[in-house]
Amino acid sequence: MTDTAATFAAVFVTLYVAHSVGDHWVQRSCQAATKGEPGWAGRLACGRHVLDLAITKGLALALAVLVLHLPVTALGLVLGLGIDALTHYWADRRTTLKWLADRCGKAEFYSLGTPAHAGHPVTAKGEYAPTLGTGAYALDQSWHVLWLFVAALLIAAV
C-alpha cells in the first residue's frame, strides 16, 4: 500500500510538472493558435500538440522511474498516458470544453477575461486588453489536472 501511494505521489508530481512544461514551453505557437479550429487543420494541430505533450510526459516519467526506481508496469504507463492524451485532445479542441462548461452552468465563467464577458479587461482607452487569465484557461487547466490525477492512479495501481 505504501509503495503504491508513494509511486502515485511521484508519478502525479512528475506528470504535473511535465504537463506545465509541455503545455506552455513545448507547445508551438502555431499549435496553440490552430488546435481549436474546425476541420483537419485544427485536428492535426491538436494531435501534434498532444503527441509533443505525451513525449514530454513520457521522458519525464522515464527519468523519474529510473532515478526513483518506481515500480510501474508498461500496461499502467500505456493506460495512464493514453487516457491523459485522449482527454487532453478532447479539451484542447475547445468547442468540446465550451460545450461541457455550458452544460455545467459555467458559460459565464468560461467567457471571463474575454470580450464576450461584460466585465472583460480593458486598456486605458477602453479597448479589450487580451489576457491569459481567462475562465476558459482556468477550466482547461483544471480539466487537465483532473486527468493527470486519474493517469497517476492508473500508472501507480496497474
Boundaries of every domain in the chain: 2-157
Q: Say if residue 108's pLDDT is above 90.
A: no
Task: Supply the pLDDT for residue 118.
Answer: 65
- What's the pLDDT band for 39 if we cut at 50, 70, 90? very high
Task: Supply the pLDDT for residue 65.
Answer: 97
Span 44-61, average pLDDT: 97
Task: Supply the pLDDT for residue 63.
Answer: 98
Span 2-13, average pLDDT: 95
- What's the pLDDT band for 132 if we cut at 50, 70, 90? low
Q: Say if residue 111's pLDDT is above 60.
A: yes
Give the chain's length. 158
Q: Say if residue 148's pLDDT is above 70.
A: yes
Task: Supply the pLDDT for residue 58.
Answer: 97
HSE at residue 121, side-chain half, CA atoms within 13 A, is 10
CA-to-CA distance for 148 and 97, rounded, in angstroms? 17
Task: Supply the pLDDT for residue 17.
Answer: 98
Q: How much is the mean pLDDT over the chain?
A: 91
Task: Supply the pLDDT for residue 131.
Answer: 67
Task: Supply the pLDDT for residue 120.
Answer: 66
